[in-house]
Amino acid sequence: MTDPLLAVSPLDGRYAGRTEPLRPYVSESALARARVRVEVEYLVALSDLPAVDRSLSEDDRERLRGIYEAFDDEDARLVKRIETEGYGEYPATNHDVKAVEYFVRERLPADLAGVAEWIHLGLTSEDVTNLAYRLLLSGAVEDVLLPALRDVRDELAALAHRHRDVPMLAFTHGQPATPTTFGKEAAVFAARLGRALGRVERARGELAGKLGGATGTYGAHDAAFPDVDWRAFAREFVEGLGLEFLPLTTQVNPGDDLAALFDALRGANSVLIDLARDAWLYVSRGYLAQRAVEGETGSSTMPHKVNPIDFENAEGNCSKANSDLAFLADYLTTSRLQRDLSDSTVKRTVGGTLAHCLIGYTKIGDGLGKVAPDADAMAEDLAANPEVIAEAVQTILRREGQADAYERVKELTRGRRVTMAEFQELFSDLNVDESVREELAALTPEGYTGLASDLVDELDEE
């Protein structure tokens, strides 16, 4: 493998350790293997048709499937060599799917050489490639991205339950507002991410494939074997791969399913961008204390610093991924007439986009694992902003029939800092029952968190 220091992209360089789990799904070798799988399974499926005079035994099928099951890096290099240089009787194809077809022929067991003419029968390259990409994308999302997102969701839920009762000043428009608890705010993000996860899971399950030939008409299939129900065959084959079936297409799969998945991932990333920014702000206010890692340097010139770099990295990578996901969702759903090839090179960038997602997910997980709410700092800020009980004061007074309650409290508090003593003075001037005066006097910023603690339990209902 190329020295990471010489990599063109940081995805295979600086961040290679974080993106490595995606290699079995987004590398060139992975694509070649997936294409070989589709070609072999198609050959096996053809052998079940009565019109095809070439049945395969169970042993034959196992040996054929071994071609892709045992596919390794050396096999991938051979596919590439057939494409670019040629190999044996095959001249350079300058065509990656044709190279896969010749590779399968090259790997056929000697006693099965007679089935070579059935490989890729009636197919266009897009039949193989659209299925291969979706098999890989489904696996990458299911096995790599979703577990990483679930880890973040679970960490948020744990923080929510652990710190459900820690009171914290809230901010709306950047200004002190009705207090909340840290646990409730963590629960909001856990719930949002949980819903986003559901959308990603559904979109992954709705990935769909086509197998209709050069222009989606089954032209070659029907010409060679007009008595075969090719629509039923194609449906069974595609669904047998675990994908939904698209009966109406041009040469290309229109990609609407990819757009839905990319949009769902973008939604999850947007939640994490919002989370990363809020966590950054809480760190800057001292509400979240960061654990210093022994030996790390926070600044090249300021030795005291512990920077929220994990949240910053998460925000940057999720933002980059979202830009790419929006582009992919838009670009891969367009094709001139029945087919143009501009999507081919664009699809090869999907792996990089998923890699930015994964870096973002793992970075935000690292960040959450290094912080804890500083209850003392939060309490200090609450005590310094007693005006936030104004909402409760005016609401209780309105309950008691004080028509000018809002205006009186506004006059006392709007645009200025007030003290609890000034509130007590206001309470003493009110024409209310003593029980109401005592109710008002008992109000404190740290105690004015409503049902915030109980709302954390809503996570258990999600």
**129 and 65 in a common domain:** no
CA gap 304, 310 in Å, rounded:
18
Q: Would strands 244-245 and 208-209 be described as parallel, antiparallel, or unpaired?
A: parallel
Contacts with 216 (C-beta within 8 Å, 6 or more apart), sequence order: 210, 248, 249, 250, 251, 338
CA gap 335, 424 in Å, rounded:
71
Distances (CA, A) of 309 to 168, 259, 290, 355: 24, 31, 11, 18
CA gap 180, 169 in Å, rounded:
6
**369 and 395 in a common domain:** no
Of 79, 97, 118, the one marking the end of a domain is: 118
**156 and 99 in a common domain:** no
**131 and 268 in a common domain:** yes
CA atoms within 13 A on the CB side of 441: 14
Looking at 9, 284, 299, 342, which residue is catalytic? 299
167: tokens are: 């009171």
**230 and 349 in a common domain:** yes
Gyration radius (Cα) of the chain, Å: 31
Give the phi and the psi of residue 289 in degrees, each rounded to 5. Answer: -90, 135
**217 and 132 in a common domain:** yes
Q: Does the annotation count 173 as an active-site position?
A: yes
Q: Does the annotation count 299 as an active-site position?
A: yes
As for how many domains the chain has, the answer is: 3
The reply to whether 3 falls in a domain is no
CA atoms within 13 A on the CB side of 356: 21
The reply to whether 330 falls in a domain is yes
Q: How far apart are the first and last CA of the chain?
A: 44
| pLDDT at 304 (0 to 100) | 47
**287 and 237 in a common domain:** yes
Domain span at residue 414 reads: 386-444
The CATH number for 405's domain is: 1.10.40.30
The reply to whether 9 falls in a domain is no
CA neighbor of 460 nearest in space, from 228, 157, 243: 157
CA gap 121, 221 in Å, rounded:
8
The reply to whether 1 falls in a domain is no
CA angle 179, 183, 185 (to 5 degrees): 65
Distances (CA, A) of 443 to 125, 176, 378, 389: 71, 17, 17, 7
**211 and 138 in a common domain:** yes
| pLDDT at 1 (0 to 100) | 55
**185 and 301 in a common domain:** yes
Contacts with 428 (C-beta within 8 Å, 6 or more apart), sequence order: 437
Amino acid identity for residue 63 in this structure: R
The CATH number for 296's domain is: 1.20.200.10
CA gap 366, 17 in Å, rounded:
14
pLDDT in tens, the chain (462 residues): 568 787 888 898 899 999 999 999 999 999 999 999 999 999 999 999 998 877 899 999 999 999 999 999 999 999 999 999 999 999 999 999 999 999 999 999 999 999 999 999 999 999 999 999 999 999 999 999 999 999 999 999 999 999 999 999 999 999 999 999 999 999 999 999 999 999 999 999 999 999 999 999 999 999 999 999 999 999 999 999 999 999 999 999 999 999 999 999 999 999 999 999 999 999 999 999 987 665 554 544 444 446 789 999 999 999 999 999 999 999 999 999 999 989 999 999 999 999 999 999 999 999 999 999 999 999 999 999 999 999 999 899 889 888 887 788 888 778 778 888 888 888 888 888 999 989 999 999 999 999 999 999 999 876
- Bridge partners of 168, per DSSP, are 180
CA gap 6, 16 in Å, rounded:
12
The reply to whether 6 falls in a domain is no
**90 and 191 in a common domain:** no
Q: Strand locations in 233-351, DSSP E?
A: 244-245, 288-290
| pLDDT at 410 (0 to 100) | 83
**329 and 243 in a common domain:** yes
| pLDDT at 294 (0 to 100) | 58
The reply to whether 8 falls in a domain is no
Is residue 63 classed exposed, middle or buried when 0-12, 13-18 and 19+ CB atoms within 10 A define those classes? middle
144: tokens are: 């790599």
The reply to whether 260 falls in a domain is yes
146: tokens are: 């979703």
Of 92, 118, 144, the one marking the end of a domain is: 118
| pLDDT at 295 (0 to 100) | 53
**319 and 203 in a common domain:** yes
Element (H, E) at 169: strand 167-172
Return the DSSP state at 392. H
CA gap 22, 356 in Å, rounded:
11
Of 71, 87, 118, the one marking the end of a domain is: 118
The reply to whether 65 falls in a domain is yes
Contacts with 105 (C-beta within 8 Å, 6 or more apart), sequence order: 116, 119
Give the phi and the psi of residue 209 in degrees, each rounded to 5. Answer: -125, 160
The CATH number for 102's domain is: 1.10.275.10
Looking at 173, 300, 428, 435, which residue is catalytic? 173
